[in-house]
Amino acid sequence: MASEQAHVEAPLTLSKYSKRAILETLLSRPDGGIGLIGQRVVIGGWVKSSREFRKEVPPSAGAPPPAVEVVGHKDATCVEVLQSKLPFFRSILKAFIGEHPIREKLDPVLPKPPQPSISILQVSDGSCVPSLQVLVDSALASPIQVMPTGTCILVEGILQKPSLQGKETIELKTEKILHIGTVDQDRYPLSKKRLPLELLRDSTHFRPRTTTVASVMRIRNTLNQATYTFFQQNGFLHVQVPIITTVDSEGHGDIFHVTTRLGKHKAEDQNPTHEGIKIEDIKASIKEKSKKIEELKRTESNKEAVAAAILDLKKATDLASRLESKSKDQAAKSKSEDYFHCRTNLTNSGRLHLESYACALGNVYAYGPRFEAKRFESKKMLAEMWTVEIEMAFSQLEDSMECASDFLKFMCKWVLENCGEDLKFVSKRVDRLVVDRLQLIASGSFEKISYTEAVQVLQQVTKRKFEAKVEWGVHLSEEHESYLTEEIYKKPLIIYDHPKDLKPFYVRLNDDGKTVAAFDVILPKVGTLIRGSQSEERFNMLSARIKELGLEKKQYEWYLDLRKHGAVKCSGFSFLFDPLVLYATGLNDVRDAVPFPRSFGKANN
């Protein structure tokens, strides 16, 4: 109680660099801000909703009441009264003043001044879920300026008790307006209330102004903070690994290539032709000509026909050779003119580079974007995914699995302790089970089974028919993972010892020769969140694996060098950050959990 009282009576905290009061420091206090009533503050934010309160206009002091009330608020003249009330006098007037027409129109009436009013604004600055009620008198700014949704205001005023009945505990009475950023109501995309998340994806630059997206981003920020905190507290060093790399770190999959030559050379330069005929067509023709010569030799054809066919084949072969030479020359020229003189791509994993630092510094981690050019159909994967990767020297598979489970427990506990208000909001607005799922990991246990056991369990299921067939040696689909975690084990699941063909080339081969020392951590709702493994430290085994997969050995010479000079057992994992945001917020599509998502066909801004 004493600490709470101290918090209530704490002085107002201002933003260090803008000298304004952050709304969270006003509204998230235990007393709701009542202890700050009477203080003068400057606040800034964006209008989320508004209404107008019209003030009664008191009569002017000393002014006599009007003799006659006329609709339209016009002053009545004597002539008008006589004309309207005493028709008898009309004839008398005409007799004395003649047939001159009586003035039908009065002098122009001045425009009616606008009725004084107060704009009642709900203003948010993105720091918390609730908004601050701000009163702006029409003498300071007209309602049409400040009331539209999305208007930005910076005002100075006095905090006071609410003047109107409502859920607010405090409000701000504006005394000075410092800035107004107006809105074009016809074009502003957030004018409508409660737009679906899928419609907001086309306005990624405006959608953080909505309460839902703002809460998701604050939860994401807390998870980001928890990531660094966990590894720094556990003796890991942060290492930045390259985004542009010369290797395919996974050894398989689609990757984005990096070049500055795009559009600088013609398509025919890459596919030389002769009189419109492509080299591929000429090679196909050579095969046909070779078959024809063999047929001629097997028959009793004359020597002249065979010689002509051989001469024709030689011409085609010479032409193909010249075109191939031209293609190589053009490729070499293109490569020399490119920014890098070798083939480069956006990295899909930083673990190979990270391992080289683990072999010198011990335990290291990296955090950044990773890229895959697959056309994902899943709602949990994007072309650009933020990933946390770790490598630990002198460790094996079991060590990585333990680190992965500790890491997830820490992350969920951290969010529960630091995002109470936002979790309460997303539980109400998005998914009521969010807190329960986080507590399931924070205080629960993980089930561990081998890949072989997982396949056997799924094959024994009779009450559910899977779209994808369950068989050993293929990837478990999302529906398989979902069934294992949500229907069978009903808890987080670690599946280890996967078939070697399903994992990257550098994973350590097990004694059975069929599986490798790899594991996946699977959570209910979001599926696979962590992929980890122990690296192959044996030079001969790693070299054989590179050869088996047909990889270009030259690209991996530096990685093989780690096995030649001071080899050590290493293990680690890659953690997909974005799907954890889905797990912590209850969202169903990762595009709603990422500030600027990059998916197939979509890169708007």
Q: What letter would DSSP give residue 76? A: P
Domain check: are 399 and 324 in the same one?
Answer: no
Q: Is the alpha carbon torsion for 457, 459, 460, 466 positive or negative?
A: positive
Is 66 part of a structural domain of the chain? no
Q: Is residue 16, in this structure, part of any structural domain at all?
A: yes
Domain harbouring 129, CATH code: 2.40.50.140
Residues 367 and 411 grouped into a single domain: yes
pLDDT tier at 8, thresholds 50, 70, 90? very low
Average pLDDT, the chain: 85
291 and 173: one domain?
no
pLDDT per residue over 475-533, tens digit each?
Answer: 999 999 999 999 999 999 999 999 999 999 999 999 999 999 999 999 999 999 999 99
Q: Render pLDDT for 27-76 as a digit per residue (tens, 0 to 9).
A: 999 999 999 999 999 999 999 999 998 887 666 544 554 443 433 334 44
Residues spanned by the domain of 353: 213-256+345-443+535-592
Determine which of 100-104, 224-228, 233-237, 375-379 has the lowest per-residue pLDDT on average: 100-104
Question: Position 352: which residue type?
Answer: L
Report whether pLDDT(217) > 90. Answer: yes
Which carries the bigger pLDDT value, residue 97 or residue 74?
97
Which CATH number goes with the domain that contains 233? 3.30.930.10
**pLDDT score of 138 more than 60:** yes
Mean pLDDT of 350-376: 94
In a domain, 386, yes or no: yes
Domain match, 174 and 220 both: no
What is the pLDDT, as a whole number, of residue 581? 97
pLDDT confidence bin for 319, thresholds 50/70/90: confident
131: pLDDT strictly greater than 60: yes
The reply to whether 403 and 435 lie within a common domain is yes
* Mean pLDDT confidence for 81-97: 52
Q: How confident is the model at residue 334 (pLDDT cuts 50, 70, 90)?
A: low
Residue 513 lies in a domain: no
Q: What is the pLDDT of residue 88?
A: 54
pLDDT tier for residue 81 given thresholds of 50, 70 and 90: very low
Average pLDDT of the segment spanning 195-214: 91
Mean pLDDT over 185-195 rounds to: 84
- Looking at residue 285, its pLDDT comes to 79
pLDDT at res. 122: 96
> Do residues 37 and 162 make contact, with C-beta atoms less than 8 angstroms apart?
no
In this structure, the answer to whether residues 142 and 227 fall within a common structural domain is no
Residue 158 in any domain: the answer is yes
Q: Which residue has the higher pLDDT, 111 or 544?
A: 544
- Rounded distance, CA 451 to CA 502, Å? 11
Share of the chain above pLDDT 90, in %: 60
Cα gap 458→481, rounded to integer Å: 10
Whether residue 26 is predicted with pLDDT greater than 70 in this model: the reply is yes
* Domain end position, chosen among 323, 338, 353: 338
**Shared domain check, 368 and 420:** yes
Q: Is residue 439 located within the same domain as residue 350? A: yes
% the chain with pLDDT above 70 = 83
> Mean pLDDT over residues 288-302, rounded?
72
End-to-end Cα distance, the chain: 49
* Band (339; pLDDT cuts 50, 70, 90): confident
Across 439-452, average pLDDT: 96
Indicate the helix (H) or strand (E) that contains 584: helix 577-585
- Answer for the pair 461, 480: CB distance below 8 angstroms, yes or no: no
Question: Which pLDDT score is estimated for 79?
Answer: 45
Pairing of strands 237-238, 171-181: unpaired
pLDDT surpasses 60 at 12: yes
Residues 395-405: tens digit of each pLDDT? 999 999 999 99
On whether residue 94 sits in a domain, the answer given is no
- Distance CA(31)–CA(308), nearest Å, equals 101
Residue at 489 is within a domain: no
What residues pair up with 521 in beta bridges, in sequence order?
494, 530
Q: How far is CA 1 from the centre of its chain?
A: 40
**Together in a domain, 325 and 282:** yes
Residues 118 and 10 in one domain: yes
Confidence at 263, pLDDT banded by 50, 70, 90: low
Give helix 434-443 / helix 420-429 axis angle, nearest 10°: 130
**Model confidence band, residue 193 (pLDDT cutoffs 50, 70, 90):** confident
Highest mean pLDDT among 86-90, 337-341, 553-557: 553-557
Same domain as 410, residue 319: no
Q: Which of 320, 338, 356 is the last residue in one of the domains?
A: 338
Same domain, 32 and 124: yes
Task: Give the chain's domain count.
Answer: 3
Give residue 3's pLDDT. 41
- On the question of pLDDT at 80 being above 80, the answer is no
Helix ranges (H only) for 484-576 are 539-548, 557-564
Q: Is residue 393 part of a domain?
A: yes
Mean pLDDT of 265-287: 62
